[in-house]
Amino acid sequence: MIIFIKNDKRKYDVVHGTRIDKEVKIDSLICSLDLCFSPATNKFNQIVDFVEDCSLIIGPEFDTWFDTYIKEYIASKYDVAIIKKHIPNIKFFADKYIDSKNIRFDDYIDLKKVSNNSIFFDSEEIKKLIQVSNYLKLYFIISQDNIMKLPTKFHKEIYNILIEKINSDILFKLFKIVSSKTYRYTITDNYMWEYIRLIYCKTTDMHIHAIFNFLLNNILVSCKTDQNPISYMISVVDEAIKWILQSVYEDVIIYTDTINTEDTNILQSKDNLLNYAYNDSIGRLVIIACKCLESEGLNEVQFNETLKQSKENSLFSMYVTYPILSKVLKIPYKQFLTIPSEHGYLLNIFLYHILPIEFKKEYPALSDFLLNYNKNKIITKTTYLMKKVNLYFATAKSFKGFKNIVFPFDLYSSVIGKIARNEYVSFKTQQEIQIPLARIEEDLIKFYNNFFNNNFTELYKTLEVDIDKHL
């Protein structure tokens, strides 16, 4: 049978052998594992127990396949195609193991406790969660090894194939568990959540999505075949929320009584799940943007102090950064308007960091102003009329989305007028910048004409590839 021999905290030998009392007689070595540091490897014993139990219950058929699966992958120099080839057998043996256990999934459901506001998982949905958990166990032997693990891009691809049984309804129910539990803690620990929002610039919504991602990426794989996965996941969510609150103060008082886990209220709509997905993508970019400060010659401490004093939304975020990122990330423009002003400035710097040199040469004034911040409150109306009318008509084409070219003329004038009526300071030098209005106007006219005529397709593709690398 297949046996895992633990040599060190994160090191195993996977062998064919026989266990006699506490001794192991080794017949042959399948592979050695050097596990990476991750929440999943902290519960690697769940994976070990599962594989050894499959070997014991299914027998030589499983052992032969498992040996081939691992050795073929190693011999191929870790080619993702080998894992794809074995996915049908991963599912076959995992399902065969579940069938052999004769589990009554209906026993996991207490219909007496179900109400109109309950998040209800039926027996079929519970079975699918356990099936997917077992598929992941057979894959995580590879994905959690420092040498054998796939690059992130291919890991996501394999992971998505293995969890395809978890449809949108199941995902949404899991999401509702996380959101409703978190909001209940927000009510009981309102002061602490408000403190987290102010000090760490992380809203409750951002934590909800972080916990949801943690649940799917690290906890789902550790569900046990013969235990209710929903109860287990709810307990993990409780602990995750407590950990977030504990990490704010070392001596923080956490309530010892856990919140009711038997019945979770439905607080969100399916549209909100999409909103959280958008916010998660934006939040990830903001975190990456923080790492770009140094490369652009900015001091993080000084940057944060500057924004505390400013607190004004960035004009160039609203009129340049958000339109571009909206197209690249396929996130509605209005979603960007809800983020804090300091995140807008960080996204300006991130966009400047990844913009191609060709774009910066074509729109030099526009690009440079991404590294500045406006001092004054944005005016709501302006009577400014743009001066470079000839350039406007020379670069205008079909204006898709507009009924005529009068409206964009007024729109451009309004944007340029609002920019002209503000004062700007450089993040790098902390010196006030004189507005090169003629150059800004020229760049904005060309930029918007190309933007509304859909001439930035190649730019969006380039930025998408670059952002994917960072994510």
pTM (2 d.p.): 0.54
pLDDT at 76: 93
pLDDT at 2: 92
Residue 426, SS3? strand
- The helix-helix angle for 270-292 and 457-470 (nearest 10°) equals 80
pLDDT at 77: 92
- Enter the tokens of residue 179: 């959101």
- Domain residue limits, the chain: 2-165, 169-270, 295-470
Cα 9 from Cα 352, distance rounded (Å): 44
Q: Which residues contact 103 (CB under 8 A, 6 or more apart)?
A: 127, 130, 225, 226
Identify the band that residue 215 occupies on the pLDDT scale cut at 50, 70 and 90.
confident
- Is residue 231's pLDDT more than 60? yes
pLDDT tens for 67-100 read: 999 999 999 999 999 999 999 999 999 999 999 9
Task: Provide mean pLDDT across the span 118-138.
Answer: 89
Which has the higher per-residue pLDDT, 201 or 431?
431
Q: Are 35 and 41 in contact (CB under 8 A)?
A: yes
Q: Which residues contact 287 (CB under 8 A, 6 or more apart)?
A: none
Residue 454 Ramachandran class (φ > 0 left, ψ -120 to 50 alpha, else beta): left
Identify the band that residue 239 occupies on the pLDDT scale cut at 50, 70 and 90.
confident
Provide the percentage of residues in the chain whose pLDDT is more than 70.
81
- Is residue 261's pLDDT more than 70? no
- Is residue 248's pLDDT more than 50? no
- Is residue 264's pLDDT more than 50? no
Which has the higher per-residue pLDDT, 208 or 398?
208
Q: Return the amino acid letter for 284.
A: R
Which value, in Å, is the radius of gyration of the alpha carbons in the chain?
27
Lowest mean pLDDT among 242-246, 324-328, 329-333, 413-417: 242-246
pLDDT tens for 98-110 read: 999 888 888 877 7
pLDDT at 342: 83
Residue 59, SS3? coil
Cα 164 from Cα 143, distance rounded (Å): 18
Cα 154 from Cα 174, distance rounded (Å): 25
pLDDT tens for 28-49 read: 999 999 998 888 888 898 999 9
Cα 93 from Cα 88, distance rounded (Å): 9
Cα 276 from Cα 443, distance rounded (Å): 34
Phi, psi of 405 (to 5 degrees): -90, 0
pLDDT at 62: 93
242 Cα distance to chain centroid: 21
Cα 423 from Cα 312, distance rounded (Å): 11
Task: Provide mean pLDDT across the span 443-460.
Answer: 89
- Is residue 401's pLDDT more than 80? no
Q: Are 419 and 435 in contact (CB under 8 A)?
A: yes
Cα 208 from Cα 181, distance rounded (Å): 9
Q: Which residues contact 140 (CB under 8 A, 6 or more apart)?
A: 40, 47, 221
Q: Which residues contact 115 (CB under 8 A, 6 or more apart)?
A: 263
Name the percent of the chain in helix, strand, coil, to the closest 5.
Answer: 65, 10, 30
405 Cα distance to chain centroid: 40
Identify the band that residue 405 occupies on the pLDDT scale cut at 50, 70 and 90.
low
Q: Are 184 and 259 in contact (CB under 8 A)?
A: yes
Task: Provide mean pLDDT across the span 426-436.
Answer: 84
Query: Could you tell me how many helices (H) and strands (E) the chain has, helices first?
Result: 22, 6
CA distances from residue 219 to 237, 452, 470 in whole angstroms, order as listed: 10, 44, 24
Evaluated on CA atoms 272, 274, 280, 283, the torsion sign reads negative
pLDDT at 363: 92
pLDDT at 245: 52
Residue 407, SS3? helix
Task: Provide mean pLDDT across the span 52-68.
Answer: 93
Q: Are 141 and 287 in contact (CB under 8 A)?
A: no
pLDDT at 309: 64
Task: Provide mean pLDDT across the span 52-72.
Answer: 93
Evaluated on CA atoms 387, 388, 393, 399, the torsion sign reads negative
pLDDT tens for 153-193 read: 899 889 989 988 988 888 888 888 887 777 665 444 454 45
Task: Provide mean pLDDT across the span 344-368.
Answer: 91
Cα 342 from Cα 346, distance rounded (Å): 6
11 DSSP β-pair partners: 8, 34
**Mean pLDDT (the chain, rounded):** 80
Residue 15, SS3? strand
Identify the band that residue 273 occupies on the pLDDT scale cut at 50, 70 and 90.
low
DSSP 222: G
DSSP string, 359-397: HHHHSHHHHHGGGEEE-SPPPS------S-HHHHHHH--
Phi, psi of 37 (to 5 degrees): -85, 120
Which strand ranges, in their side-by-side order, compose the sheet holding 11-20?
Answer: 2-8, 11-20, 23-34
Q: Are 446 and 363 in contact (CB under 8 A)?
A: yes
Between β-strands 372-374 and 23-34, what pairing exists: parallel, antiparallel or unpaired?
unpaired
pLDDT at 3: 92
Cα 292 from Cα 354, distance rounded (Å): 10
pLDDT at 404: 58
Lowest mean pLDDT among 64-68, 83-87, 416-420: 416-420
